[in-house]
Every structure is written in structure tokens, then in C-alpha cells.
Structure 1
Amino acid sequence: MNVLFVCSRNEWRSPTAETIYRNHPTIFAKSAGTSSSARIKINQKHIDWAEVIFVMEKKHLQLIEQKFGNHFRQKIIVLNIEDVYQYMDEELIDELKTKVAAYL
């Protein structure tokens, strides 16, 4: 399954999620950001590739809908994970695993 993780700048939250699921036997993970200053900016290829999209906050969903419309074949899930963590923070990892597990 192709899974895309999205945060703002693609520096801490979504790259952590991508790293966690990188070696999963049935999940292919990528990450991107919604900000113009994002390390990897979300684009139409990301949207087309993904079977499931996890966004960290509701604002990311809203920005994706503004940029790409709101008619998606895949489900977009808001994880409600605030931007208060560093890359690979143990609390972030725990929160991601707990919230994502409910959908995968």
C-alpha cells in the first residue's frame, strides 16, 4: 500500500512517519510538506501515487483541498499531531504508531 504522510515543512513529523514505515513489509511510505518552504513540496504526483494520505493537522487537509481540489479517490486522514516535536522524537513515534495503526 502506498502511504503519503504530510506536514508543513516536511522536516520533523512527516519524515519521522516515513522513516518509521520505510521498512514495513506491506507499506511503501513517502512524505511531503504543504509549505512553499517545505523540504519536499507536495505535488500532483504524490497525490496520484498515494492510496492513503495521512496529514498531521486539519490545516494540511484544507491546503491540499485548496491546491488539488477536494475530489480524491483515496482517503485523507487527519492525525491531529501538533508541530511540537523534533525528527524521530520518541513521543512523536509513539503517537504516530498509535494513530496510524487504527487505519492500517
Structure 2
Amino acid sequence: MTALQPLRVLFVCTQNKLRSPTAEAVFAQHSGWQVASAGTERDAPTPLTRDLVEWADVAVCMQKGHRDWIRSRLKGAIPDDRLLILGIPDDYEFMDPELVVLLNRLVPARLEHMVARVTQQPRAAGEL
């Protein structure tokens, strides 16, 4: 990734109906980021796939179980140091103001610590 390429951030939750689509909407216009969201459940509107995870520079998981799902079912699709866990429980509705505040507080601060490392590593040859 060069300075001209946006950081590709994939938000992951279970159903891809509440938390991760909220995060995608909140950060859709974030300068320097390209965002997407997906869910670990098969019937999610956008199911999590190997292609999506390989596309991402960073996968932002709402809970530890989402990270574990990626590790076990999509082994090797993304390095462990590019998996971020927010610890946000499934207690919010889509665009819940409290969830929006929480995302705005957690995501930029935690991604900031990862960006330098991610920007120094080359992207995979099979970019989407």
C-alpha cells in the first residue's frame, strides 16, 4: 500500500445487519479509507468470504468470536496482526446513536496504531 491508496477496512459482525453496516456507514466518507462490511452467518446480507478478507488491509471484528471465525474458517486470509477486536456486543440497532459514538471513539484510535505497520507491508498480488 502506498500513500495514494486508501486503507481498506472490513467491518465484521454476525448478521451484517446492525453493527458492521453501521460502522460501514459511519466511516464511508472517512478520508483515506475504503470500507466494507460482512457477517459471519451464512444468511447475512453480505456473507464474509475469503475474497473479502483478502481484500482488506485490516479486518475490524466487533467481538472476539468474529476474529476466531476468520482464523478457523479462512485460515491465512489475513495476518493476525491485521485483525482488530472492538469488543462491541450485539446490543445495538442499526445507526444507534450510542453505537455511532462508540465506533467513533474506538475505531480511529485503534486503527491509528495499526496503520503504520499495515502501510509498510505490500498488498497481496490478487487485489480486488
Q: One fold, TM greater than 0.5?
A: yes
- Please indicate the TM-score interval, normalised by the length of the shorter structure: over 0.9
TM-score (norm 1): 0.94
2:39 paired residue among 33, 36, 42? 33
Larger fraction in helix = 2
Over aligned residues, Cα RMSD in angstroms? 1.3
Offset of residue 72 of structure 1: 2.5
1:59 aligns to what?
65
**What is the distance in 1 between the residues matched to 2:45 and 2:71?**
20
> What percent of counterpart residues are identical?
35
TM-score, normalisation: structure 2? 0.77
Relative to structure 2, which stretch is displaced further, 71-80 or 44-53?
71-80
Tell me how far apart the structure 2 counterparts of residues 70 and 63 of structure 1 sit (CA, whole Å).
12
Runs of 4+ aligned structure 1 residues displaced above 3 Å come to none
2:97 matched residue in structure 1: 90
Structure 2 gap segments, 5+ residues each: 1-6, 113-128
Count, aligned residues: 104
3-state SS in 2 of match to 1:35: coil
Residue of structure 2 in register with 1:13 after alignment = 19
* Residue segments in structure 1 that go unaligned for 5+ positions in a row: none
Deviations 1:36-95 (A, max 9, x none): 121110111111110011000001011111111156336100000000000000000011
